[in-house]
Amino acid sequence: MSLIKLLVEGGAMQPGPTLSQQIGPLGLNMGQIISKINEATANFKGLKVPVELNIDAGTKKFDIKVFSPPVSELLKKELGIEKGSGEQKKKYSANASIEQVISVAKTKLPNMLCRNLTTAVKSVIGTCVSLGVLVEGIPASELGSMIDGGKFKKEIDAEKTQTSSEKRKKLDEQFKEIVAEQEKIIKAEEAAKEATKETSEAVAAPVAEESKETPKPETKPEKGKKPEIKQKK
């Protein structure tokens, strides 16, 4: 048996060199395999999905095993964002409700090494940190200890996964205010950097001018006189 591990676009896998190199030597029908993988991952459209192919080279038969997408992919789909923040401490990419975090945790729990839903929620919140996602307006990096202290216990115990429209509206308004504040801070930092640069250049200019050597004028001998040549003693 040959085991091939792939990360494919759910329901939209396309032929590629990686698959060709692995399947080609086994003499299998690539079109058939891609069609079966797309059929098996159709419920995960728009997500990257881990897939394993178990191939019997002798009989040419194969089995497809589909795993749930990575937590980061599930979160991005849940929150409707294409990517996380590249500057987690400066910019936030979304404001998730605790219900959305619980939903992702429940989806992923069967594939996680977590003993209960609370542990799974904390694991998902760890991914929120790397994506720059706030949870209920709170930086995700602060939530682990807060959950240990009982925060969101009611929602987690009830396994709530639905966010009310009223709550979603409040979270969205809160996020707009946070983003506006972020932009002010970033602009202020950029202005400070530019001012520091201009000051440095202004100070450096006269110093550079003074450092230039002023060329000495050439002294020409008076007309009718030969230049004096000093002889060595």
Q: pLDDT for 214-231, tens place per residue?
A: 555 566 655 555 555 555
Residue 190, in any domain of the structure: no
Give residue 174's identity as a one-letter amino acid code.
Q
> For position 26, what pLDDT does the model report?
76
Q: 27 is in which domain, residue-wise?
A: 2-66
Q: Is the pTM of this model over 0.75?
A: no
CATH code at 30? 3.30.1550.10
> Which residues, in sequence order, are CB contacts of 45 under 8 Å at separation 6+?
10, 11, 12
> For position 168, what pLDDT does the model report?
95
Same domain, 15 and 84: no
pLDDT at 204 over 90: no
Strand, helix or coil for residue 60: coil
Same domain, 24 and 75: no
Asked if residues 38 and 44 have their Cβ atoms less than 8 Å apart, the reply is no
Q: Which two three-digit tokens encode residue 108?
A: 């992923």
Residue 93, in any domain of the structure: yes
Output phi, psi for 110, to 5 deg. Answer: -60, -25
Strand order in the sheet with 48-56: 2-9, 48-56, 61-66
pLDDT in tens, 96-144: 999 999 999 998 888 888 889 999 999 999 999 999 999 999 999 999 9
Asked if residues 185 and 109 have their Cβ atoms less than 8 Å apart, the reply is no
pLDDT in tens, 15-59: 888 778 877 777 778 888 889 999 999 888 888 889 998 888 788
**CA 214 to the chain's CA centroid:** 55
Q: Which two three-digit tokens encode residue 176?
A: 């707009």
> Distance between CA atoms of 144 and 21, rounded to whole angstroms?
44
Residue 231, in any domain of the structure: no
List the one residue out of 149, 74, 160, 147 whose CA is nearest residue 110: 74
Cβ atoms within 10 Å of 226's Cβ, excluding its own: 7
Residue 218, in any domain of the structure: no
> Which residues, in sequence order, are CB contacts of 171 under 8 Å at separation 6+?
95, 96, 97, 136, 137, 163
Same domain, 167 and 131: yes
Residue 118, in any domain of the structure: yes
Same domain, 83 and 106: yes
Same domain, 103 and 146: yes
Same domain, 158 and 143: yes
> Distance between CA atoms of 124 and 117, rounded to whole angstroms?
10
Domain count of the fold of the chain: 2
CATH code at 75? 1.10.10.250
Q: Of residues 82 and 203, which shows the higher confidence score?
A: 82
Mean pLDDT of 73-99: 88
> Distance between CA atoms of 105 and 156, rounded to whole angstroms?
10
The two beta strands, 133-135 and 94-96, are parallel
Same domain, 103 and 174: yes
Residue 106, in any domain of the structure: yes
Q: Which residues of 124-155 are buried (b: 16+ CB within 10 A; e: fewer)?
A: bbebbbebbbbbbeeebeebeeebeeebbeeb
